[in-house]
Each structure stands twice: as structure tokens, then as C-alpha cells.
Amino acid sequence: MSDELWRWRAVDLVAAMHDGELSAREVLDDHMARIAAVDPAVNAIVTRVFGRALDDARRADAAYAHGESLGPLHGLPIAHKDLAMTAGIRTTMGSPLFADQVPTEDEELIRRLRAAGCVTLGKTNTPEFGAGSHTFNPVFGATRNPWDVTRSAGGSSGGAAAALAAGMVPIADGSDLGGSLRNPASFCGVVGFRPSPGTVPSWPSGDPWDPFPTGGPMARWAADVALLLGAMAGPHRRVPLRGAEWPFWPLDRSLAGLRVSWSDTAGGLPVERAVREALAGVPDRLAAHGCAVEDAFPDLSHARDTFQTLRAVGFERNLGALYDRDPDSLKDTIRWNVELARQQSAADVGRALGWRAALQDRVHAFFERFDLIALPTVQVLPFPVEWDWVREIEGEPMPTYLDWMRSCTDITVTGCPAISVPCGRSANGLPVGLQLVAPPGSDLLLLQVAHALDGDGWAPDRIAPVGSPSTP
């Protein structure tokens, strides 16, 4: 393996530290040097706590000296999304209103990662309150795509995805409501996994019954995602949703006989030609693994309106009081969500809940014929970093800032786990992701398929060169 430790897979780093071949301090030093070298061009890790990270690494090495391990993430560097509450570390949520906020307690996800032995380097950039799949905010500015720094890294876990693609960290946590793990994974050429609702419990929570938002893992390889998910997952006594059960191993399995539905337009959505061209070989590649691939897609009628209604209700619940105090302090898309929620009647919300139930029933029936659904993760290539959101796709106008993300948001409504895996590059070298969807609770199956695809050479280089603009 390379002497550059920042190129290593997380599972290999952990194994080497457990065997005494590497120290946590060596691993940390290599990643801190990589951050110093490339993050000025990317702007992914926006709050750094290297002193604390050195303390974490020393603790890991002291434990090893006594024949102990701190856990499955022993000594692994990680940076946490800036939406996650982290004790003693600034948590801004990308908002000037919280630019100086320093929580006194970790939220549950961070507590679990710390208990698993990770080494916290800092916080990764996110859009203001996580609104939108493009990472920019007035506190830290925009995160740039390491494959082409003139382009978006996606979002809202864009800082996490960019940090991974640039080799700054081997693993990263993120969250996903309408594609925030999957979209930036596709844009940056890494793996992003939205687990079944409840698999990664969120606490504190404004609505512990809400299945739309979830935490989840990101990494460059599926095995590293499985390692991280194992540290995140498990029930919590205050969270009623129950998702897929641990363990998320073994990953090695044959894909022969899996029935896969495939649509390069995600069931008829506008998708850039460059994306479809990059994914054109998907059916043959899956068939080479023994999968039976058929052009088909479930009926996701009303997914758009269901998502927009219920998402708006969540934004009003969480940010309505801020909107009332100072609406001008919130960006326009957040104000739009709050205002949309306040235009809804109880009957409107009830109708959306009914649409969701009917849609999920149709998808359940669809999975009686298929084991997996395959589709583009994102409908467009990474776009210029100066844009706020995509206004049209292949000549079709996008009415709202959510419509260009429907290949992800429609899947959120199904309640199914979904993973984005690197699948290839566009003609100008930009990453393109393949989204795989499985029945609720089938998280291990998705990890196994992603692991198998990792091994067939679809996207062997997971570290971006950091720079070189692509040709328009």
C-alpha cells in the first residue's frame, strides 16, 4: 500500500493500528498534513480542532500500549458535519445566527462515534441549516468540488464528501433528508449511504417519528461505510423508529440472481444527457455480476408534492420561531419552506400522509418482483459553484430549488434505504453516481452490492487531484 496514509482505506488503517504497524498519531499527522495542503482550495473542513485530535490520538495509542482498543473506529480521523451538535466544538449550522455557538453536549450520533474511538479533527461545511444540495453559507462560504474546484461539491453533506474525495479524512458522518448523503457522494465520487429510517437514531429530535431525516455514513469505499455504520447504528430508548439491525457484515456475496429494475431517467424525470451517457453501461455491468436487469420503475405518483409538503412542515417546526423573530436572517429557500408550511391546512398535510402511505404500498408490491432499484443518483453533473441551484435540466424549467433533486427526494418518500456508489465519469471527467435502492431493512444487501461493485473497477481512483477545471 501507499506510504501516503491518507490514501488508505479506513478498514486497512484500523487493522494496521490494531496490529501495531501504525500508531494513531502517525495516521493523524498524515491527514493533518493533507488538510493543510489541499483544503485551502476546497474549503471542506471549516472548523479545526487539531489540538483535541492530538489528545484523541494519544489516548488511542496509550490504550494500544496497554493491550486495549477504543472501539471499531480506534484512531480513525473523522470530521463531523456542522449540523451535528458537538460538545466544546463550534457548531454553526451554516448560519450567522449561530456563528459562535459552542454546544455543551454531544448529540447521540457524535456520542456513539466518540465511544467507538474516532479522532475528531473538526467540522465539515454545510448549507445554511442544511437547506439545499449545494454547500455554501454566509459563515464559511462555498465548498468546492475536489475534482474541479470551479464546481459544486453538492450538499448538504458537501463538506464531508469533498473532504473524503480530497483525502483529508477516511470516513465522515453526514445526514440525509432529501439526498444530502447521496447527492454530494455522487458529485464527489465517493459512497454515501442513506440507511433505513431508524437505523441511525437521531436525538435530540423535534419529531422522533419523522422518517425523512436520518444520519448516515460516507467514505470512499463500501467496506469503510459499513465500518462506520456499525458504530452509528442501534436502537435508542427515546427514538421509536427501528431500522435495519446490526451487524452489517459479511460484505462478500455473489450478486447472481438478483433482480434489478433500471431507469436512466428515474422513472421519467429530466436527466442531463451527460449523466445518462456516463451510466449507459450500468445494465451490462450488473448483468456481468449475474443480475437480471429489466427496464422498469415503480409508480412514485405524488412523491414530489408529498415530499415538499412534509419537508416544509419539518422546517416550520424547527425554524418557525427563528422566522418569526428575524425572517431576513434566513436565506430565501428556508423562508420559502416555512411559508409553504403555513399555507398548508390540516387537510393538505393529511392528504400528503395518505399519498405517502399509498406510494409506499406500491413500492412494497414492486419489490415482490425486484430485489433492487437502480437509477441515477443526481439528475445533473456538478454545476458551477457560483450557482445557488439548478434552474433547468435539458430545457425543462425547475419550479423550485428542490425539483432538480427529485431522483433523491422521491426515493426519500419511499422509506427505503439507498446508497450512491461511484459509477464513472462524464466526458469532462466529473464523477457520476449510481443510486441503488432496496426494501426497508435491507441495508446489508445494499452494502454487499456496493462492495461487489467496488471490486470490479468501476471507479478505481477515489482520490481527486484537487484542482484542474474541466472543459465545459
Residues with a catalytic annotation lie at: 81, 156, 180
CB 160 within 8 A of CB 153: no
Torsion of Cα atoms, 114 then 245 then 357 then 291, to 10°: 110
Return phi, psi of residue 29, to 5°.
-60, -40
What's the rounded Cα separation, in Å, for the pair 178 and 402?
9
What's the rounded Cα separation, in Å, for the pair 422 and 222?
10
CB 181 within 8 A of CB 192: yes
What's the rounded Cα separation, in Å, for the pair 345 and 91?
34
What's the rounded Cα separation, in Å, for the pair 68 and 61?
9
Instruction: Show the DSSP H helices in 298-331 as ranges.
Output: 303-325
Gyration radius (Cα) of the chain, Å: 21
Q: Is the peptide bond preceding residue 250 cis, with omega within 30 degrees of 0?
A: yes
Instruction: Show the DSSP H helices in 173-325 as ranges.
Output: 182-188, 222-232, 273-278, 282-288, 303-325
Closest by CA to 309, choosing from 355, 258, 367, is 355
CB 95 within 8 A of CB 55: no
The dihedral through the CA atoms of 294, 272, 156, 428 has a sign that is positive
Closest by CA to 381, choosing from 435, 429, 437, 418, is 429
Strand partners, 267: none
End-to-end CA distance of the chain: 35
